[in-house]
Structure 1
């Protein structure tokens, strides 16, 4: 690079160099992707940067990895792919990140500007393709705008509610010399708390309530917000439920006021707690996490919406008051207006009964025998190896519900769960990214045999990176979550069965350690052996899903399943 005479703009050998320097200015540590002719100049520029290039085996997985970086760090992860199918393969990953609230920027190669309206090799209007499923989708049309487009992509992806952004880089833009300055990482504008008058209005509403309840959402599990949530619950004693994606927002000290996670089917203790509430306060919640018609049929009771964005209008979600602003700061000011809040006898009974049921369930789970293995036994063994220095990434399937309902997590962003799109195949890519972001931790990822095979090619990536991962596969040779719903609706199954795989041999063929559980006595020992492996390990456990229909049935008050 060279400075010109008036020292205003820097001249770069190619646009790719300016792109990469902007990535460095944003603090990017890793770029996940697959090269191709339209984007290989950017990959070449990465060689001379401080950024590690992580070559993956499918572009959707690059997007999943970038999104996991965003969820774990708050800073947008980056996926880099070539034109045509390289970009279109990103679609599921971008849609997932956007609905999950995970900050990521995807960069896609494109044909030369002069060819973009012609039917040439790999021409595709990717900007239009991604507009409906991202927060930001733009093409760089001149090298002088590289820094502007890149900076805006990161700013939009990271705040106020995170999501996905896409940048199209035409081949001639990245290959030709460029002129422009790198945008340093512009400081995020500080978001203040909600207006004081609105906070006082909510305080009065909560003081008068007979049984208020907090419903926590994804943004409540951001570390800074989780700390404020915990202080609020400790001070007020308010009863709490959370969506699957709010995992870790409540710690052990407030566990007795926590009625568990809610989602999918309206039959959990947390659902009963919400049903009896006369005021519901949502914190960092998005309707994509749990449909309002399922938990808010009583639309006449007041709702309070605490978030970084106003609520979308919905006939089942009409807040009486919206506290829009910095969530942590808003909760702290609201707590300052309150003492201990009321709780109805019914709410206290739900929480007391639940506390006893948890003890009973733990004891029962440890005694479950037989092979295939009952889901609660597997959850119990996983719970016993998840400590403060472990991160868990959970795929989509029946196992997802068992873990979301019955595995406890007391650290913000310790348990990553997909629920916005309920995307299969995310767990292993998420785990690989987590092993890079949290190199001192053991990462446990969990999938079914169906969801695992949607991204299992990334085992090679995990082996190459020496990722500190234990991937646990629940094996039943079926898309079981679909099957149980088909049986309930039609009394027969369709399109859900597939053949067996020797996952131990499959893992070993990639160079990973492979383990296969063959009896009910083996999960505990086998999981601990896998945890001792340096590098990736795969544990296949045959699962008995015969109790799955109970997941959709009403629960007894004194028993969790």
Structure 2
């Protein structure tokens, strides 16, 4: 068969349903092999958008999706989204075209060392320079991308190799490698620490959500009464309806979670990821006992030097700890953090008054009211991300998707496409005017493939988060101001509904109508 046909058959065996990308001359054979397969190729408007789609797909499903770019600028355009997935610990396989092998030893048109460029932003990457290595390389790309901790991998496919003939057959996928149980002696020491503590606290990170450990975490918390503060990417690890939830770590607008950490005499970090959240923000100079429960050892970090590390399957460790605590009938006093939780809830659930202007913070209670617990909110990066992380109660895992590893702007609109394809829930893509115009052209992709999600667009004519930080440092801002098009007219030009509510009642009605509709829509919220 054609070698590109072999690669596509390998992708089919890996369970790939969609390939997102931009076509190119050097990927011609691969594109026509995709046409003749069970995989749907979805042309997008920018390669970065393709990588963001696969990032969100990986976050929601745990399975590696595929993004495609051609050589040169196609590959470099993919890089931001690939790096974002790698730092978000989202499984992703990127495929890029390349010129023929006969011209890569010399300077030639659009030829760059893409494998070298992708080296620092992937878990593994290689050039497919021989038909006989296709099957092993594709299998390795998916195995490495999906193995805990997941991330990005990359395959470069030269055009002459893609067009060559081969009689190789695909390599069968196998069950994913699972991490082992925790060491029994270490588990006993963790149990002893817990039994001696008066005010233990859990910090739940991305790994608690990603590894399907949420059920075990919730059982552990219900059994012991230990409070939980989540990172931005750990939102939903326990329900914010739980009396043990202190919502979000380092809560900016409200410092109750930070106050609880200072009061705690034992910290259990569960799936905590330093790339997402600097521990210096909550542990600078602290001498509190820290127990690290994760799939990998803790990074060597002055502000994060755990007393004990359980490197194992997180879910298994929590199940065994729950059994031990249940048998010892250890139950912690919940009164020490109850007032802190009450203050947080009072702050974030207050309905706005009729005279209040629209702000992200005051809009979020309205958004939460119209969204079901299983609906998915995808946040772009900017000042609105901080408010969503801190003030949007989340009840189920993977229902509030925040990129906080690389934290690149522009993820929410393309991410909404992946979420809409991957889930039956309603999807809201929240973004600011800065991030929206980076990948807003993917609305055309969304309408073409029949998506029906809601874009919630906060407009302040500014790179607001940078402005906030400059004001905090200098009392003024510079270089952050923007001008914008008429967004509702822009939405309508894409063939979708555009709304610009002016009053609170109108906002709630518009959001409710948009969420219940099967069509795409954009709701512009002008901020003061």
> What is the deviation of 1:190?
2.6
Task: Mark the CA change 1:84 to 1:248 in structure 2 (over 3 Å): closer, same or farther.
Answer: same
2:175 matched residue in structure 1 = 187
- SS in structure 2 of the partner of residue 393 of structure 1: strand
Listed as ranges, the gaps of 5+ residues in structure 2 are none
Tell me which residue corresponds to 1:443.
427
User: Does residue 362 of structure 1 match 2:346?
Assistant: no
RMSD value over aligned CA atoms?
A: 1.7
In the TM superposition, what whole-angstrom CA distance separates every residue of 1:310-337 from its partner, at most 9, and x where no partner exists?
1111111111111111110111011111
What SS class does the counterpart of residue 453 from structure 1 fall into? helix
Q: For 1:217 and 1:268, how far apart are their aligned partners in 2?
A: 18
Q: 1:357 to 1:415 in 2, by over 3 A?
A: closer
Structure 1 unmatched runs, 5+: 1-11, 545-561
SS in 1 for 2:352: helix
Name the structure 2 match of 1:463: 447
CA distance in 1, matches of 2:194, 2:322: 11
Do the aligned residues in 1 keep the contact of 2:93 with 2:145 (CA within 8 Å)? yes
Per the alignment, residue 398 of structure 1 pairs with 383
- Among candidates 487, 495, 509, match of residue 503 of structure 1: 487
Q: Would you say how many aligned residue pairs link Structure 1 and Structure 2? A: 526
Task: Find out whether 1:527 has 2:511 as its counterpart.
Answer: yes
Shift in Å, 1:533:
2.8
Deviates more, 1:119-128 or 1:530-539: 530-539
Alignment of 1:166-245 (within 5 A): 166-222=154-210, 224-245=212-233
Question: Which consecutive aligned stretches of 4+ in structure 1 deviate over 6 angstroms post-superposition?
Answer: none
The 5 Å alignment of 1:265-414 reads: 265=252, 268-339=255-326, 341=330, 343=332, 348-359=335-346, 361-363=348-350, 365-367=351-353, 369-371=355-357, 373-414=358-399
Partner of 2:501: 517
Going from structure 1 to structure 2, the CA distance change for 1:448 and 1:207 (only over 3 Å counts) comes to: same
Residues of 2 paired with 1:362 and 1:248: CA distance? 17
2:526 aligned residue: 542
Structure 1 residue 92 and structure 2 residue 90: aligned? no
CA deviations on 1:267-295 (whole Å, 9 max, x unpaired) are 62211111221111110111112101111
Q: Quick check: 1:492 aligned with 2:473?
A: no
SS in 2 for 1:425: coil
Distance 1:266 1:199, change over 3 A: farther
Q: Distance in 2 between the 1:356 and 1:267 partners?
A: 9
Change in Cα spacing, 1:258 to 1:486, as seen in structure 2 (3 Å) is: same
Name the SS of the counterpart of 1:250 in structure 2. coil
| Superimposed CA distance per residue, residues 497-548 of structure 1 (whole angstroms, 9 cap, x where no aligned partner) | 011321110011011111112234421111122223322100001112xxxx
Q: Normalising to structure 1: TM-score of the pair?
A: 0.91
Question: In the TM superposition, what are the counterparts of 1:10-21 in structure 2 within 5 Å?
Answer: 12=1, 14-21=2-9
**Residues 105-157 of structure 1, C-alpha deviation per residue, up to 9 Å, x if partnerless?**
00000111121121111111111101111111111121000111111111111
Q: TM-score, normalised by structure 2?
A: 0.96
- Give, in angstroms, the shift of residue 186 of structure 1: 2.1
Displacement, 1:380? 1.1
Are the counterparts in 2 of residues 68 and 77 from structure 1 also a CA contact under 8 Å? Answer: no
Contact map agreement 2:256 2:344 (CA 8 A) in 1: no
